């Protein structure tokens, strides 16, 4: 079996008209935005960077104070983000990119939402964690991720190739 390629999977998903998934829409997106907006206000967050922005649907619900940078390794996702925010009412400073240099490693807050369990390859996962925990120089990190194995059958088989 070939090694799963996260970059190809997500870019293909967006190219085929797919989106970031259930966690970026509806009740779950509202729950996340309520928590994030609480901490933005409580901690005086001014700058935000998001590692794995996807189609940026969640971002529509955040109260971004000054600047936001979003990274995703899908060029199509970044294209969607740029289009979605080109005339956004809160057009302070938005930057989207598909290379890791898009991340503002000095931002007040790093967001990682529903990303950790979408990296079935240990090498990609470890690189991602290294960026968040070793290279990020900001003050705060918010990670939203599953803490269950409900995506795995009793024999260890994953229900979906893009979920670990």
CA angle 100/105/98 to nearest 5° reads 20
Burial of 77 (0-12, 13-18, 19+ CB in 10 A): buried
Higher pLDDT, 48 or 14: 48
How far is residue 72's CA from residue 55's CA, in Å, rounded to a whole number?
9
Higher pLDDT, 87 or 54: 54
How far is residue 112's CA from residue 152's CA, in Å, rounded to a whole number?
22
CB 11 within 8 A of CB 74: yes
Mean pLDDT estimate for the chain: 79
pTM: 0.76
pLDDT tens string 67-126: 888 888 888 888 888 888 887 665 456 677 666 776 789 999 999 887 655 566 678 778
Residue 1: the pLDDT is 44
If we measure between CA atoms, which residue out of 74, 9, 61 comes closest to residue 35?
61
């Amino acid at each position: 079996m070939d090694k799963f390629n996260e970059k190809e999977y997500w870019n293909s998903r967006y190219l085929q008209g797919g989106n970031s998934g259930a966690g970026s829409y509806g009740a779950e997106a509202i729950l996340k935005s309520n928590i994030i907006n609480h901490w933005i206000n409580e901690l005086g967050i001014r700058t935000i960077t998001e590692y794995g922005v996807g189609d940026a649907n969640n971002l529509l619900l955040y109260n971004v104070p000054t600047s936001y940078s979003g990274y995703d390794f899908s060029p199509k996702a970044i294209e969607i983000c740029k289009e979605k925010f080109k005339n956004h009412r809160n057009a302070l400073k938005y930057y989207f990119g598909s290379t890791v240099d898009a991340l503002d490693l000095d931002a007040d807050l790093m967001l990682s939402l529903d990303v950790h369990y979408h990296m079935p390859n240990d090498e990609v996962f470890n690189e991602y964690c290294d960026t968040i925990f070793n290279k990020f120089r900001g003050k705060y990190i918010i990670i939203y991720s599953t803490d269950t194995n409900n995506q795995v059958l009793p024999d260890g088989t994953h229900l979906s190739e893009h979920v670990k």
